[in-house]
A and B are shown apart, each in its own frame.
Chain A
C-alpha cells in the first residue's frame, strides 16, 4: 500500500495518550487487597490497545514494552500474580516509560531506550520463572473451518508464556491438537489461556458472522498466517484494539491505513486544531467590531424612517454576541484535564514522604479556557506538593493531634461571576505564624508581631521564602510560591491563602475563564484610550490634596485610609502631552498585582468592556507596560495595560 502512514500517526498519538492516561487512573484506583476483575480487565485492555496500535504503526519499541506490561497484567488478571504495591509501582513506571516514548515519537526526537529497557527488566522480574516444557492436548469447540484461525490466535496468546509448538495437526477423524510449550512457567496459566482463547474465539466467530463487514482487520491479518508462521506478538495487533475499558462490546477494530478513521459508536466529539478555533474566535471578534461600526454609522439616521435598519442591527448584535459565546465555549474544556494528573502526584509523593493522603476532587467538570490548562499545571502542582510536604502531617503526628491518620487533600473548582476559582485545601497542620514571622525577620523584612494573618500568609509569596526546616527534593527550596503567584498574575488571576493552625490550609486561585477576552476598564489619558484589566483594579477614586504626599521631592504617594500607595502618572510614563497634570482633577485607579499596589493617574474613566486580546508581538514587539492590544468599537487600536509590569515598576523606582 502506498498510503502515507504518518497521517495516521497523530490519531495514534492522541489515542495512545488517552489509553495511557486511562491506565494510570485505573492503576491508581485499583484496590490492592481485592482487585476488581473488571478493573484489571480494563487495564489489560488499555495496554493491549496501545500494543496493537503501536505495532500497526511501526512503533516497535512501544509495542515491545507494552507487550511485557501486558504479559504481567494478564497474569494478574488470571490471579497468577499478586497485585501488590511493587507491581503497581512497576506498572506505573512502565506507563511513564511509554509516555516518554510516545512523547519522543510525537516530537520526532531521538528515542532513549534506557528507561524502557530498565522497566522491561523490572517487568520480566515480576514474572517468576520455572523452566520446563509441558504439552497439552485439547479439542476445539469451533467447527473445523475455523480451526486454523483459532489455532493462530491461540499460539499468539501462548507466546506470552514461552515458545509454543504444534506437535500434531488434527484431521476430521482426529480432532485432538497437541501443543508443546518450551520454557513454560505456569501450566495452570496455559490451561486457562487455552480455555480463554477458545471461548474468545467462539465469541469472535459469532461477532464476525454478525458484522462481517467490520471484521476486515482480523480476517486480513489472519489471512497471512495460513501456514502457521511462528507467532510474533506485534502481529496480533488488530483485534480488540479501540476497546474502551467500560465498553467491552464497543467497536473492536483498529482503523487501518487506507480507511478513514472511524469514530467509535456513539462518539460525539471531533478533534479540531486549536488554531482553527482561534481563527474563529478572531473572526467573531471582528464581526462584533464591524457591528459597532455599523451601529455608529446608523446613529445619524432617523430612528423612525429607518426603523427596520435599527431593528436589524439590534438583532445582529444579539446574534453576534451569541455566536461569540458559542465560539468561546468551544475553547472551554473541563478542569478534569488539569486535575487528572494529581492522583498520580499524590500517590507518588505520599509514598515517598511516608504519609497517608486521600485526594478528593470536586467540580472536575467545571470548564475553563483550553489555553489556561497548560499554564495552570505548574502552579497547581506546586501547591499540591506544598500541601503534601508541609501541610499534611505524618500519620503518627496526626494521631497524636487527635486526627485521622489519613490526611485529606481537596482540589475543588467552581465558577463564580465570570471567574473560575480553584481551591487546594488540606486538613494538615496549617501555616506556622511564628515561624513565618521569624523567617521574615531573619531575611530583614520589617514585620510586626501584630500583623493580620492575611498579611503574614502573604509573606510566603516573597521570593526565596521557605520555612521548611529541611530542604527536600519535594519542596522547600524557596523558589516556589513567588513563581506560583507570578504565573497566576500573568493569567490575570489572583491567589489567596486561608490557614488555621491545626486545622489546615486553603489556597484559592481565581482566574478569568478565558484568555481570549478580558474584562477591562477603559480610561482616557489625553486623547489616548487605555484598557486596564478589571481583575487587577482594586478601586478608583478622586484624590483630594490632603491625600497626596510628596516623597523625596519627585515621587508622589497617595494615602488611602492608612496605606501609602505610589502614584504613576500614565501620561508621564507614556509621554502623552495633552493629558491632565493636576492629580486632584483626574482619577486614581488603584491597580493591584503580585501583592503590590500602585495608583494609576488617568484623566477619566470611560467605561467597562469585554475586549478581545490581540497580540502586539505578532507584528511588532513587546512594549514595556503594555500587555497586549485590542480593537475598540470604532475600529481604533487601544492598548491593554500590563498590571504586573506596572506594579513592579513602582516597586523598582521606590527602592531606588
Chain B
C-alpha cells in the first residue's frame, strides 16, 4: 500500500500564477458578493460581509499583489478561511481544483519572490504540466502586510 503522506490542497488562480493552500484552512467558497466598504482601509480590503451573522473582512489578493486588471466576473470567488481564531475572506480569480500532493513532490521554495513574498511560500509542487505555489495562508493573512489586526494601526 501507499504509505506516503499526502497533503490536500486547494488551488486558485491569481492572475497567471496558480497558488495552493492547505484545504484545512478553508471554511467555504462563496460566489463574489459586494462587501460593505470600510472607511480609511487600504484599497485591497474590499470591506466586510455578513457571513451568517459574523462580520467578516474580505481581502482582494489580486489588488494586494498588484496583479494586472481586476475584474469581478461570475468566476470570481471569495474563499472563506479560518486563520488563527479569525475568519477572513479572500477574493481570487477562480478556484481551479482540490488536489492531493504527496510530500515528496513538494520542492523547496525558490529564493526569489513571485507575487507573494517568499517568506510565506512553503514549497513548489509540480503537478502534471502545472506548477503550484504552496502558500502558508495563515502566516500570510496574519502578517503585517494584510493590515487585518489591531497591532498594525501604528504602522499606517
CB atoms of B53 and A619 under 8 A apart: no
Residues of A within 8 A of B149 (CB): 621
Q: Which residues of B contact A573 (CB under 8 A)?
A: 39
What is the chain A residue whose CB lies nearest that of B51? A619
Residues of chain A at interface, number, CB under 8 A: 30
A285–B52 Cα distance when bound, in Å, is 10
Contact of B55 among A286, A576, A614 (CB under 8 A): A614
A386–B5 alpha-carbon span in the complex (Å): 69
Q: Is A636 interfacial (CB-CB < 8 Å)?
A: yes
Give the shortest distance, in Å, between B79 (CB) and chain A (any CB). 15
In the bound assembly, the distance between CA atoms of A629 and B37 in angstroms comes to: 12
Q: Is the CB of A528 within 8 A of B37?
A: yes
Decide: A619 near B50, CB < 8 A? Known: A625-B39, A629-B55, A637-B55.
no
Q: Shortest Cβ distance from A629 into chain B, in angstroms? A: 5
B86 and A282 contact, CB distance less than 8 A: no
Residues of B close to A283: CB separation below 8 A: 53
Report B54-71 CB contacts with A as 1/0, cut-off 8 Å. Answer: 111100000000000000
Tell me if B150 and A617 are in contact (CB < 8 A): yes
Shortest CB distance A636–B (Å): 6
- Decide yes or no whether B153 CB sits under 8 A from chain A: yes
* Interchain CA distance A285-B50 in the complex, whole Å: 12
A619-634: which residues lie under 8 A (CB-CB) from chain B?
Answer: 619-626, 629, 631
**Docked complex: B136-156 residues within 8 A CB-CB of A:** 148-150, 152-153
Bound-state CA distance A175–B36 (Å) is 89
* B89 nearest in chain A by CB position: A619
Interface size on B, residues (CB 8 A): 25
In the assembled complex, how far is the CB of residue A501 from the closest CB belonging to chain B, in whole angstroms?
A: 48
Q: With an 8 A cutoff between CB atoms, is A616 at the interface? A: yes
Contact status A575-B39, CB under 8 Å = yes
Distance in angstroms from A343 CB to nearest chain B CB is 41
Return chain A residues, CB-CB under 8 Å to B148.
Answer: 620-621
| B residues less than 8 Å from A624 (CB atoms) | 40
Q: A631-B50, A637-B48 given as contacts; is B39 within 8 A of A620 (CB)?
A: no
Does A619 contact B35, Cβ atoms closer than 8 Å?
no
Residue of B nearest to A287 (CB): B53
Interchain CB contact under 8 A, A619 and B55: yes
Known contacts A573-B39, A614-B55, A629-B55; A622 and B50 CB within 8 A of each other: no
Q: Which residues of A contact B (CB under 8 A)?
A: 282-283, 285-286, 289, 528, 573-576, 614-626, 629, 631, 635-639
Contact sample, A vs B, 6 pairs, CB 8 Å cutoff? A574-B40, A575-B40, A576-B39, A620-B38, A637-B47, A639-B36
- Complex A-B, nearest 7 residue pairs according to Cβ-Cβ distance, in ascending order: A574-B39, A637-B36, A621-B150, A620-B57, A286-B53, A631-B50, A629-B55
